[in-house]
Structure 1
Amino acid sequence: MWWPANLVQVSLFRALHEKEERPKGGLTRAQFFVIAFLCSFAYYVFPGYLFEMLTSLSWICWIFPNSILAQQLGSGLDGLGIGAIGLDWSTISAYLGSPLASPWFATANVAVGFFAVMYIWTPLCYWLNVYKAKTFPIFSDNMFNSNGLTYNISAIVDSDFHLDIAAYERQGRLYLSTFFAMTYGVGFAALTATIVHVALFHGREIWEQTKSSWVKSKMDIHTKLMRRYKKVPEWWFVSILIVTIAGTIFSCEYYNEQLQLPWWGVLLACGIAILFTLPIGIITAITNQTPGLNIITEYIIGYIYPGYPVANMCFKVYGYISMTQAVTFLQDLKLGHYMKIPPRTMFMAQVVGTLISGIVYLGTAWWLMETIPDICEDTSSVWTCPSDTVFYDASVIWGLIGPRRIFGDEGYYEAVNWFFLGGAIAPLLVWLAAKAFPEQEWISLINLPVLLGATGMMPPATAVNYTTWIIVGFLSGFVAYRYFPDWWKRRNYVLSGALDAGLAFMGVLLYLCLGLEDISLDWWGNDIDGCSLAHCPTAKGVVIKDCPVFT
């Protein structure tokens, strides 16, 4: 069988523990890291400054500069990204992480999910004009009115940042692009699929591990070696949890006019994070892909507490981001376990690192907002903040207007809720197929939470981010592993770290030396994507600036 059963096992453990024997005339891992780091550092000056088009080479747009259809199909940033490729590590790893760290079967699940949504469901819905799809761009994270124009959010918000219902009814309902609406649907399906998949495929394992944790059981060699160190008392973790929740509740109550979220919202968000940490942690451990709680947290608080966009954002942060940080914390603890780092040292490193990073992040964000004009606006060529734009859009969709007026009985997209049911049924079908055909090992490798949640980062991620990530993941996870297994086991993680480090250092250097002085190059090589018509609608009579009008 061409699909090795142990592809799930990555090279991290061997990279940390295996004694390296330097081949004659070869490189040690440290030497390989330095060389790869320098190459990544030097190369990023091209996509990062000199030749920004390397971020998305959408060659179909070059061949058909006046065709909306061709640019919708070929644009890597505003279209389906057919043939588009990015020769830039930041394009590859920006949203899905390093493809070198993803096991091949997980990459295959992401690829199948992406192709199904991007190249089957989205074009089908668009060309059948489902939900007036042709009135809007085929791929966009913007919000629109019925005429295809950008929705005027400021006109429906009162002075207290609440929804002005009368103004909303005058302007009319809010519409989404075909792809944006589709991603919410598959997000619904991915959530229920996660719960059902973990229950069916890992329920017994969870139960056995839970029982064994209450009794003395056999320990592996790592646990035995770690017993020489003092453990971290449970009350340390509990104390931090209590203090953090209490501080959050105090902040929300004291600054209630600004944050809008009541105390019970904090407790509910924390409860959701605790509930989903285990199943999502299992998916992450197996696939290196982490399903998100962003949609369900927005959905829940949007129904319970509609008309409060800031409260919706806060609830999502406390529910979704808390779970994500918990999973990341567990990953770090596991790494420390393998590295034999004393638990108390690891604990203190985590606490101190969290405090430092929080201060640095807040200070940096404050500084950027004070020093960069039009930050996160379309008028800013560099600081467009795609993730923050989607975050803002979600606060409007789920918080200000509310899910009932968009996805509920008062909304236009009510049928999208059927994805919840589809996501719950799909893992059951895979589980039954795996039981009925045990000799077909590939069936058990179908991971519906990853497959259905493949496009969970789109938008802000674009087609070129995914197509290039999938290509590199295939070359690493299948080709390199199968034909160069020794190299893959010893160099794969080292290469991934070197590419990340080189990109980060050159990115900071470019900003400090050139970005602060607003020094840029204006030439065709810095016209990213070059698909100026990809965002144009194709419905008859829709008038959009710089777009042809169909009659």
Structure 2
Amino acid sequence: MSEHLSDDVSEEKVITPNDVFGEVKTFVTSESEWVPPNEWIERFVAEYTGHHDGSTETLAPGTDPLRAAYAVLTLEEDAAKGVLVDGLKAYRQDYTIDHNLLARCRSLLEGPEALGTDRNDWGYQLCKTAGFFHNWSCYAEVRAVTLPYDDVDEPCETFRAYLLGTLWVCVVTAVNTFFSQRQPGISIPGQLVQLLLVPMGRGLALLLPDWGFTFRGKRHSLNPGPWSAKEQLFSTIFFGGASTIGNFTGLLDLRMPAFFGLKWVTFGYALILAWANQLFGLGMAGILRRLTVYPTTAVWPQSLPTLALNRTLISSDNKRETINKWKISRFNAFLVATGIFIVWYWIPNQFFGALRIFNWMTWIAPNNIKLAVVTGGYGGMGFNPISTFDPLTSGSGAMNVPFFAQFQQFVMRVISGVIIIILYFANVSWGGYLPINSNGIYNNKGKTYNVSMVLDEKLQVDIDKYNDYGPPYYSISNLFITGANFMYYTFSIVYVFIRYREQIVKAYYGVVMNVVKRRSGYHGFTDGNTRMMLAYPEAPEWWYTILFLFGFVISIITVCAFPTQTPWWTILAIVGIGAFLTVPWVIIQSIADTGIQLGTIWQVLPGLWFPGEPLPQLMLLMLGDAFEVMAGSFTNNLKMAHYARMPPRAVFRGHVIACAINVVIYCAILQVYLSFFNSDSTLCQWDNPQHMVCAGPHGVYASVIQFGAFGTNNMFKLYPKLSWCFWLGGILGVGWIAGEYGLPRLHNRIKGRMEASRFAWFDRYIWTTGGRILGTLNPAIALSGALNWSGNNNLTYATTGIYIAWLFQYYLKRRYTAWWQKYAYLLFAGINVGVAISGLIGTLVFSFGAGKGVSFKWRGNTISQAGDDWKLYNSEVAYLPLPEKGYFGLDRNQYPENW
């Protein structure tokens, strides 16, 4: 059967599902034997192939409208009603779903009169909406990038997919790792590689011979036909899931002379430590599939732009489609956006730098420290309504994350920023003597803390040296986010485990029963995506268990066979704590693209277990944090494969192979760093001429000193209020849950005790309004916004992003749904590709190539760095001068010594 069926619907013949699907495997349910009226089929096809206004939708590129109609319209009226009733129960507390859709479902259940239409139109709308819920997705963003049917014979795990995936793992890992320590960082975005994969894949389809063999009744060939969408996505997942820099940050801290500079950390040791990091997370992701992949509410919004671009590059648009008078194809829209931002990038980054960090408020009085603190975009807090004209700075990722999540985080970010400013000017915890928004560590004279002044040859604290030099001090923003992390950590754990307890229990029970009864991981999930995935055998639980155990053994080797000063039992702690706490992280991440950072716990615990010993703290921070990060990354890829109907076993094999290659490449790049780029002894220093300042390793190093060398107990003695935050978070979590369960009962009590007229006013203007606000608030997501400070991260990097989020994720998504479905993700991809191409060229030319040292010095490039804002960024100025005694903080006889 042809991949693309005709859009014309015959009037002479009633088309049946068999005519549409042919030999393609389908899944028969009790309602699938019902055949929709032919006029409904015609209407569905017409709705998705003609002109669209703001109230309609469009199909993903390459979707056959006729086939989609039969895939969606499988429910007769009674079954459709049952689906909607179940959907209203299941999604009543879902933050991601469009609640206008739920309101429409309620109207549909009331009958034709509620919609003011005839019975036939009502029946069509009822069955179509229920078909979305049952056979496809209730989320418009998911329907925009997926198909409601599947071709099980479409090539996926092929030789050419592995060949191209391996090539791009090598290239992307090398480039991204090499430039990761530059500020601003430069990387090859996945969207650019997706674009290049298409001509390369189609080229192989033309050049390779059709050589192959048959195994178990299925033929495997070097060239199974045209380059397919599943091959394209398989290659994308192959390089995308393993092209990150992994634990490269921690390895830099171990190896670079600017930090620990340990000679025994060789290339071989880096390899096994990196593999341990990768394998732990992969095994955990597989265990969590029932909680984070199969549930429909686990949307994983960051995966949707990748799916949108993948289908756009492989499949053509319906040429008869017009959306709000726009006829341009998705691919052309992507190319236009790419071209615009290839050109635009050069303006704020090379020719008019003031547009990138547009700290125009500080230009009024460049040397006014208070103005710089509040409005500065470099070292200040960035309270500036027009803060940047550079999408790389503002965060174009705002175009694909749900607006409800971004808005809540932004509001909390503003509130927390105001609190930090108040604390700074009040000189709380000596913060006024330091830059307000730095993640560095300082001595009591406001200079960078030199840890070598307090450590002995065993990398442990020497008490006499410590008493001569003093304890480390931290900026007020660093202290604030440390405490906020503690509070957020315990709050989210309590909130998520109580709020999502049913899903969590069901997931873990399912894992156990799958093993005991040898059932498929799909068991218990009946949505359309999972029913289509039944055609593909799931990767067994024991595959992931073996991977997990292998990572466990290697991790023990990395800490016991080398002088890491870290006992073997700490790996048991990582497994136990990590397995327990990764659950709330992936739940929040799957909803709102943000999550709990496990790094917090691996700062505090090693500082309690090994006070005065920074090396064990760094080891556990690397292994424990990677446990979470890799689990989230691979889970996201599993969800993409689920949406695209890709064989799970193929994805498992591809990801394991890709991770093995990835580790070798980025460890090799580290060798290049050591042997070449430290020749002038400025690598990872702020004065590095290539801007290789290693901001990430500096942050990790500060954390290691803060909790490892100095010790958690000493940290809490120097800053006693920090320890309260753990308890405060847990108490607030319990209180919030109690409020969710108790407020409805309180409402009834108020109603019984208040006069009817007064209660009506109270209920309408106070209770209902407050309930609507609280009903859309996810506190675990909102509170994460308070963590986005320190390290010179400020509102400059969020304000323009929230404008973009409102436009794309709220206004256009609701008012012009079809336009948003067709173009939003492609514009996002185009911006990223354009910025990346220009950024990479600019870096190669002006930092390493013929233009090295060349700068365009004029007022537009220098004005933003001419005042106290820039000095704050470089730790050259603070709000308060040093006291007359020459230092701030504790006197020598007050230094904490609780080791």
TM-score using structure 1 length: 0.89
Moved over 6 A (4+): none
RMSD: 2.6
1:222 aligns with 2:529: yes
Cα distance change, pair 242–529 in 1 and its aligned pair in 2 (3 A): farther
* SS of corresponding position for 1:151: coil
Q: Structure 1: how far apart are the matches of 2:700 and 2:462?
A: 21
1:197 aligns with 2:480: no
| Paired letter, 2:146 | L
Give CA-to-partner distance per residue, 1:388-440, whole Å, 9 cap, x none: 21111111111111111112xxx221112211122223233433444425952
| Paired letter, 2:722 | V
Pairing of 1:118-267 with structure 2 (within 5 A): 118-119=417-418, 121-211=419-509, 214=513, 216-217=523-524, 219-256=526-563, 259-267=564-572
* SS of corresponding position for 2:377: coil
Q: Structure 2: how far apart are the matches of 1:67 and 1:539?
A: 13
1:398 aligns with 2:707: yes
Checking the alignment, whether the CA contact within 8 Å between 2:387 and 2:799 is kept in structure 1 is: yes
Residue of 395, 409, 422 corresponding to 2:728? 422
Choose 485-494 or 318-327, whichever is displaced more.
485-494
Deviation of residue 364 (structure 1)? 2.7
Q: Structure 1: how far apart are the matches of 2:582 and 2:403?
A: 24
Checking the alignment, whether the CA contact within 8 Å between 1:194 and 1:449 is kept in structure 2 is: yes
Choose 285-294 or 50-59, whichever is displaced more.
50-59
Give the match for residue 113 of structure 1. 412
| Paired letter, 2:526 | M
* SS of corresponding position for 1:307: coil
Deviation of residue 541 (structure 1)? 4.2
1:269 aligns with 2:574: yes
Give the match for residue 102 of structure 1. 401
Deviation of residue 156 (structure 1)? 1.0
Cα distance change, pair 360–505 in 1 and its aligned pair in 2 (3 A): farther
1:336 aligns with 2:647: no
Give CA-to-partner distance per residue, 1:200-256, whole Å, 9 cap, x none: 321123234545664853522222222222322322222222222212211222222
Q: Structure 1: how far apart are the matches of 2:616 and 2:709?
A: 9
Q: Structure 2: how far apart are the matches of 1:319 and 1:225?
A: 36
* SS of corresponding position for 2:868: coil
Deviation of residue 332 (structure 1)? 0.7
Give CA-to-partner distance per residue, 1:255-303, whole Å, 9 cap, x none: 22xx332222222123222111211111111211122111111101111
Pairing of 1:396-475 with structure 2 (within 5 A): 396-407=705-716, 411-435=717-741, 436=743, 440-460=771-791, 461-475=793-807
Give the match for residue 532 of structure 1. 867
Checking the alignment, whether the CA contact within 8 Å between 1:430 and 1:446 is kept in structure 2 is: no
Structure 1: unaligned runs, 5 residues or longer: 544-551
Q: Structure 2: how far apart are the matches of 1:474 and 1:58?
A: 23
Q: Structure 1: how far apart are the matches of 2:777 and 2:841?
A: 42
Q: Structure 2: how far apart are the matches of 1:453 and 1:263?
A: 33
Residue of 808, 821, 826 corresponding to 1:494? 826
1:14 aligns with 2:144: yes
Checking the alignment, whether the CA contact within 8 Å between 1:100 and 1:472 is kept in structure 2 is: yes
| Paired letter, 1:384 | V
Give the match for residue 294 of structure 1. 599
Choose 36-45 or 131-140, whichever is displaced more.
36-45
Checking the alignment, whether the CA contact within 8 Å between 1:434 and 1:444 is kept in structure 2 is: no
Residue of 352, 358, 375 corresponding to 1:57? 358
Deviation of residue 30 (structure 1)? 2.1
Q: Structure 2: how far apart are the matches of 1:327 and 1:528?
A: 41
* SS of corresponding position for 1:11: helix
| Paired letter, 1:240 | L
* SS of corresponding position for 1:162: coil
Larger Rg: 2
Deviation of residue 520 (structure 1)? 3.1
Checking the alignment, whether the CA contact within 8 Å between 1:104 and 1:473 is kept in structure 2 is: yes
Q: Structure 1: how far apart are the matches of 2:736 and 2:592?
A: 17
Residue of 357, 360, 380 corresponding to 2:688? 380
Cα distance change, pair 74–242 in 1 and its aligned pair in 2 (3 A): same
Residue of 317, 326, 349 corresponding to 2:622? 317
Q: Structure 1: how far apart are the matches of 2:718 and 2:364?
A: 38
Checking the alignment, whether the CA contact within 8 Å between 1:187 and 1:452 is kept in structure 2 is: no
* SS of corresponding position for 1:85: coil
Checking the alignment, whether the CA contact within 8 Å between 2:608 and 2:711 is kept in structure 1 is: yes
Q: Structure 1: how far apart are the matches of 2:844 and 2:865?
A: 27
Checking the alignment, whether the CA contact within 8 Å between 1:426 and 1:448 is kept in structure 2 is: no
| Paired letter, 2:698 | T
1:86 aligns with 2:394: no
Q: Structure 2: how far apart are the matches of 1:179 and 1:528?
A: 26
Cα distance change, pair 310–9 in 1 and its aligned pair in 2 (3 A): farther
Q: Structure 1: how far apart are the matches of 2:352 and 2:654?
A: 39
Q: Structure 2: how far apart are the matches of 1:305 and 1:4?
A: 43
Checking the alignment, whether the CA contact within 8 Å between 1:269 and 1:316 is kept in structure 2 is: no
Choose 369-378 or 322-331, whichever is displaced more.
369-378
Q: Structure 2: how far apart are the matches of 1:206 and 1:379?
A: 49
* More relative contact order, 1 or 2 (CA 8 Å, 6+ apart): 1
Cα distance change, pair 385–483 in 1 and its aligned pair in 2 (3 A): farther
Give CA-to-partner distance per residue, 1:436-495, whole Å, 9 cap, x none: 259524313322222222243433333311333333223322233233332222222222
1:350 aligns with 2:648: no
Give the match for residue 30 of structure 2. none
Give the match for residue 74 of structure 1. 375
| Paired letter, 1:142 | G
Q: Structure 1: how far apart are the matches of 2:588 and 2:344?
A: 34
Cα distance change, pair 541–398 in 1 and its aligned pair in 2 (3 A): closer
| Paired letter, 2:541 | E
How many aligned residue pairs are there? 532
* SS of corresponding position for 1:327: helix
Deviation of residue 55 (structure 1)? 2.5
Checking the alignment, whether the CA contact within 8 Å between 1:12 and 1:493 is kept in structure 2 is: no
Give CA-to-partner distance per residue, 1:110-129, whole Å, 9 cap, x none: 1122111112x112211222
Checking the alignment, whether the CA contact within 8 Å between 2:397 and 2:828 is kept in structure 1 is: yes
| Paired letter, 2:808 | S
Structure 2: unaligned runs, 5 residues or longer: 1-94, 100-137, 149-315, 514-518, 745-766, 885-899
Q: Structure 2: how far apart are the matches of 1:360 and 1:265?
A: 28
Q: Sequence identity of aligned pairs in percent? A: 22
Q: Structure 1: how far apart are the matches of 2:650 and 2:866?
A: 52
Give CA-to-partner distance per residue, 1:35-55, whole Å, 9 cap, x none: 222223332233343333333
